[in-house]
Amino acid sequence: MESLLDDLDYIAKVDKENMLGAISRFPSDARMTINQIRNLNVPDYFERGFNSLLVIGMGGSAIGGLLLKDWLRGDCNIPIDVSRSYHIPKWVNQKSLVFAVSYSGNTEETLSQLEEAIELGCEIVAFCSGGEIREIAEKNGIPIVLFPEGYKPRAAIASQFYSLAGITHKIGLISDVKWIDVQESIKVVEKHLVTYDKETPIKDNQAKKLAEEIKGYTPFIYGNKLFKTVAYRFCTQFNENSKSPAATNFFPEAFHNSVLASEGIDEILNTICCIFLTDPMEVNPIKNKVKNFRKILNGRFGKIIDVRARGRGELARIMSTINLGDFVSAYLGILYGKDPSEMESIVRLKRESKI
């Protein structure tokens, strides 16, 4: 099939800031980050033990924390939560470890929460590329993990996640056995990168094919509990890179509400593309119930697409699907003639909201 996505001149014209290139750097960013964390000195008192871990961040800077929470949901001895707000939760105390994450270092909600965490006496690690958060951290003796500059926050996903995971492992909240998943996750992403590359023609390029399939539809993304944040990431990447509306839900929650959308009117349902993030390692009863959920939706919506996770370990399945979705969203934006890196509406919202 002929596609604009095989026209490299067209891609270069639309993808002005090379979002595709940033997405392609996932494995190298991940490895660089792991080496950076390995050489980072963490205060000895961090090994005293914590009763909770809170990640504070917004937008693309919150994704790493959400993924960490999903990945460690059954393996970490303390609760992990992500706060996307102006204020830290009331349960946070001096025995809470706080990760303050802001790619720019200037996110107002994160700055507000960071000040509260400092006032409360929490142990904190700051993650940023600079900005006010770096200044506050240096002033207060807070350990800092610096992200590489020149990325959009959403494109720095490898630096964000692997730095959070690296610190969590370094202080003993991730076991060495669990940490083995990390290397596999990078290798699986790297293995499939060439097939998503802009120079790979659409006939051999799953990411380009999916973008063409989704074009013209509003995507609704579904995943299991492990893929809750992956589905959310697909949704927000369609928003940001494709400039497209999108929605998401996860199983088993979707069994109790989203299934009723199949009873809607054809005029609306025909415009929706349902994307199922399928996990080959999923077990019954969820697997059978998802199959029946899909059967009910089939024929009612404009299109149904399956995206199968790759890899054996949980983190490999998470990250391989994330990386594919990032490429798909960028290619979809390019098909629509939209620069995936453009953030005009966010800039406008911030400008018009200044007091």
First-residue to last-residue Cα distance in the chain: 52
Cα–Cα distance, 117 to 345 (Å, whole number): 31
Sheet architecture: strand order including 52-56 = 80-83, 52-56, 96-102, 123-128, 144-146
Using CB atoms within 10 Å of the CB of residue 267, give its burial: 0 to 12 exposed, 13 to 18 middle, 19+ buried. exposed
Q: Please name which of 302, 280, 222, 213 lies closest in space to residue 255, comparing C-alpha atoms.
A: 222
Whether residue 293 contacts residue 254, with contact meaning beta carbons closer than 8 Å, is answered with yes
Pull the structure tokens for residue 15: 């993808």
Cα-based distances in Å from 259 to 250, 295, 296: 11, 10, 8
Whether 256 is catalytic is yes
H or E element in which residue 120 lies: helix 108-120
Q: What is the CA radius of gyration of the chain?
A: 20
Pull the structure tokens for residue 104: 């720019």
In sequence order, the β-bridge partners of residue 52 are 96
Pull the structure tokens for residue 109: 């909600």
The catalytically annotated residue of 109, 184, 212, 240 is 240
In sequence order, the β-bridge partners of residue 71 are none
The catalytically annotated residue of 90, 139, 256, 354 is 256
The dihedral through the CA atoms of 125, 128, 129, 132 has a sign that is: negative
In sequence order, the β-bridge partners of residue 277 are 307
Q: Which residue has the tokens 């934006």?
A: 333
Cα–Cα distance, 243 to 105 (Å, whole number): 25
Pull the structure tokens for residue 147: 């992200």
Residues annotated as catalytic are: 240, 256, 350
